[in-house]
Amino acid sequence: MHPRRWWALGVLSLVLLVVGLDLTVLNVAVPLVATDLDASTGELQWIVNAYTVVLATLLLPAGQLGDRFGRKKLLLGGLAFFGFASLVCASATSPELLIAGRALLGVGAAFLNTLGLAVLVAIFPPEERAKAIGIQSVAISAGIPLGPIVGGLLVEHFWWGSVFLINVPLVVIAFVGLAILVPESTASRPPRIDVLGFVLAVTGLCALSYGLIDAGETSWFAPVALLAMGVGLVALAGFVLRQRRVAEPLADLTLFGDRNYTLGSVLSAFVQFSVFGIMFVLPQFFQAVLGASELETGLWLLPLVVAMIVGVQVGAPLRPRIGSRGVIMAGFVALAVGLVLGAMNGADSGFGYAVGWTVLIGFGFGMSMPPAIDITLEAIPTEKSGGGSALLQAQRQVGAVLGVAVMGSVLATNYRGSLDTFQLPPEAAGSASYSGASGIAVAEQLGLPQFADAVRASFTAGMSAALWTCAAVTVVCVLVAAAVRPAVADRSTGAEGGA
């Protein structure tokens, strides 16, 4: 039993708080980045997605590398890499450099996320492990809703690069703490690294994301977009075949033989799809259409976060009464209603209406997410808990990637398609088509209030199309949730709704 394990847990929790923060801290700064770096909607999607794509694809190999070469060593390396990448992002002078910096952040975050849990398992005895994992989960979860508020405060008083500089002092503190408090550990039988599987996963996810984003920028029938999506799907199919045949796979696909694992992981991934897609769209809507500042945007997102917490609290006592399946279905119904109301949002509807439907969405998230994750984890055999949990985490991150890619592309396609720029000079027309924030900036520079109104209307139409798309998939998820078997916890309490 490690004597300083609780101090080590405090440092590890600080590390994961930063990881969670970086998932959402940039969202409120996206409109400012669009105008400052002259970034298109597609480039904005990559600025957000580069972090999550790399994080998703490295979660599984990071665990294997830590088992082989030493968890503490790679945890400290990931932390240092995370700090360096933060400096790269803060000093970026072009969309391409910021995308590269965000990808580097994802590399560091993957090692921190995976090896933080592995170190925790190594230093805590079984009787204390559940409590320690709970504390660590709270830390990373707390970072996600704090991101928009912290980002809004920083951007309001400094500049958008400050949302990355905040990482640096935290990284230094965590590095010293981990170096002193955490012992080195490796697996008793180091695994063989599945290099080909890793390459196929990275290629598949990056190509599919590129194709979806390019489709939004050009056309859903553009040859480059179709080719990229085709390459992505083929690579992902190759990854699945590889994992079925290799002796030590990155992902244990036998877990999908359990119906609850399959359905729960799909539903968990779709919650991430919705959360990150909406968190990409909403800040732009608040700023470009409703005229909110960066700090006001973070505060206007707060009702969604509070509603998410309320949804968790309401759903927990309902599970013994109506079962996990009933709670998940109720959560997705609330989510679908919120999305439909959001899709009906007009450019002149105001903040009150927007808060109403975002609260419903947050409540739906809160109700559906915990039981969906729980039924998935419950289906994982004890001897496969590490790999199964990492696979679930990776699937959820893939859901986040696709949420930003799909909803961002639908938004971009409809915004650009409905915006009339024929009366503008060619250069101004091109800038206005990049994003809602760029369109408003062009209108202000040229002194064209009527064009600003047209930008707001076009952006709202694009957002409505994205929300309708998300709502349609949510309805399918209600039907998927209906196929969930009663969980063990539900059966033990005799829940009729789960039967």
Of 53-57, 243-247, 492-496, give the lowest mean pLDDT range.
492-496
Cα–Cα dist 109/111, whole Å: 5
Confidence check: pLDDT of 434 > 80: no
Confidence check: pLDDT of 386 > 80: no
What is the overall mean pLDDT for the chain? Answer: 79
Confidence check: pLDDT of 383 > 70: no
Confidence check: pLDDT of 78 > 80: yes
- Count the Cβ atoms, other than its own, within 10 Å of residue 410: 25
Cα–Cα dist 194/355, whole Å: 47
Residue 447 — very low, low, confident or very high, per pLDDT cuts 50/70/90?
Answer: confident
Confidence check: pLDDT of 493 > 50: no
Does the CA dihedral 323-328-331-332 come out positive or negative? negative
CA-nearest of 230, 238, 245 to 199 is 238
Residues in the chain: 499
Confidence check: pLDDT of 7 > 80: yes
The secondary structure of residue 220, as a DSSP letter, is T
Quote the percentage of the chain above a pLDDT of 90: 8
Residue 112 in tokens: 């921190």
Residue 285 in tokens: 């809507």
Cα–Cα dist 425/408, whole Å: 26
CA-nearest of 26, 290, 12, 14 to 150 is 26
Question: Greater confidence, 29 or 86?
Answer: 86
